[in-house]
Each structure stands twice: as structure tokens, then as C-alpha cells.
Amino acid sequence: MAKEEARKKTGEAMLLKDEWKRAPKERGIFETEVAALRSTVVEPEANRDRDIRRGSCAARREIANGFQEVLSSLEKSKYADDLRRATFNAKKALADNYLDVLISLKEKWEKKKAAADCEARLKEVMASIDLLKEIMTNNLLALDELLHLRAKEVELGSELDVMTVSDFSVGKLDLPQISEDLPEEFFAKVPSEMNEPSDEAKRAGGQFEDGEFDAEE
């Protein structure tokens, strides 16, 4: 690698040396070409000066007339330019005034639109506040009613526990048992009124159903 780099640098040095040797020759050629170009430029200038010196008075008069026409044309052109410039400035001022009016109208419209949007949002917020107030009021009323119902539930449950009675079906009553060994004379001694139910017993019998009493609270 070191040899290749040394060879490469040597080649570059030789190229630079050759270019340095060619530089004076190329400079001489360039100076020669510049001198030739100068000669070609100097000759037309000399011819032009000679033609001007040889010009007659008529040519000078013609030139003067031409200059006069040019000056008058320039004056007319200047007047036209001034007129066009004044017209342009007037139109520009009018357009600027219209633009100012449009900008003012746009700003007012944007402010009005922003105010309308703000008012709409304010109404929406106020409606939401009213709705939340109503919901909160209803929730408080519902909470009070729930607490009242729960207290009533406990109260009625306690009353029900106190009022609960045992089953009083006829089959579960502790009635005295009649012995089947009693003599027939015992039944003969029972008055006939005991065998037939009284009117009160008949009325009370309507309150029995399937051997159970109707309990009334």
C-alpha cells in the first residue's frame, strides 16, 4: 500500500511539473491572441472616427433634427407616462380604500361570529347547569324517599315480627280427646241444644275455611 501511494504521488508530481513547463508557452499564446483582438477593435474605432470627421453639415443637421424629434417624442411620452401614473395612483388609492373597507367589514363579521359562538356556548353551558341542578334535586328527593322507604321497611318488618302468631288450624289445636269407651248414657245426658249449633256458631262457621280461622290485621 505504501509503494502504491508513493507511486501515485510521484505521478501527480510529474503531471504538475509538465503543467508548470507548459504554462509559459500557453501564456505567450494567450498574450498573442489578446494583442490580435486589440488590433481588430482599434481598427473599427479609427474608421468610426474618420467617418464622423468626414460627415457634412447636412448630416449634422439631420442628426440634430433626429435629436429634436427624439426630444419631442420623449416629452410626449413623459406626459403620457405622467397621465398613466396619475391614473394608476388614483385607481390604487381607490382600491386601497375599498380594501380597507372590506378588511373592516371582515373584522366586524369575525367579531360578530365569535360573539355569536360564545353566546351559543354560554347558553349551552347554562342549559347544562340547569339540567344538572334538576338532576341533583331529583336525586336528593329520590334519596330522601329511599331513606324513608327503608325506614318504613324496617318498621313494618318489626311490626310483622311482633304480630306473627302461631298456626291455629283446627287440626293443630290441642283439643281434649273424647274416649270411645264412654257409655251411651253419657251422650244421652248431653242436651239437644249442644247437638245443634246456635245462630252465633253458624255465623262464626262462615269464618272457617278448611279448618282454619281467617286472621285479620
Percent of the chain with pLDDT over 70: 61
Please report the pLDDT score of residue 49 as a whole number: 64
Highest mean pLDDT among 108-122, 131-145, 191-205: 108-122
Contact 173, 211 (CB under 8 A): no
For 111-133, the DSSP string reads HHHHHHHHHHHHHHHHHHHHHHH
Please report the pLDDT score of residue 214 as a whole number: 44
Residue bearing cell 501564456: 27
Q: What is the pTM of this model?
A: 0.30
Residue bearing cell 334519596: 143
- Summarize the confidence of residues 28-53 as an average pLDDT: 67
Please report the pLDDT score of residue 45 as a whole number: 62
- Summarize the confidence of residues 99-126 as an average pLDDT: 84
The C-alpha cell at 3 is 509503494
Per the prediction, the chain carries an average pLDDT of: 70
- Summarize the confidence of residues 112-134 as an average pLDDT: 81
Contact 151, 201 (CB under 8 A): no
pLDDT digits (tens, 9 = 90+) for 56-112: 666 667 777 777 777 777 777 777 777 788 888 888 888 888 888 888 888 888 888
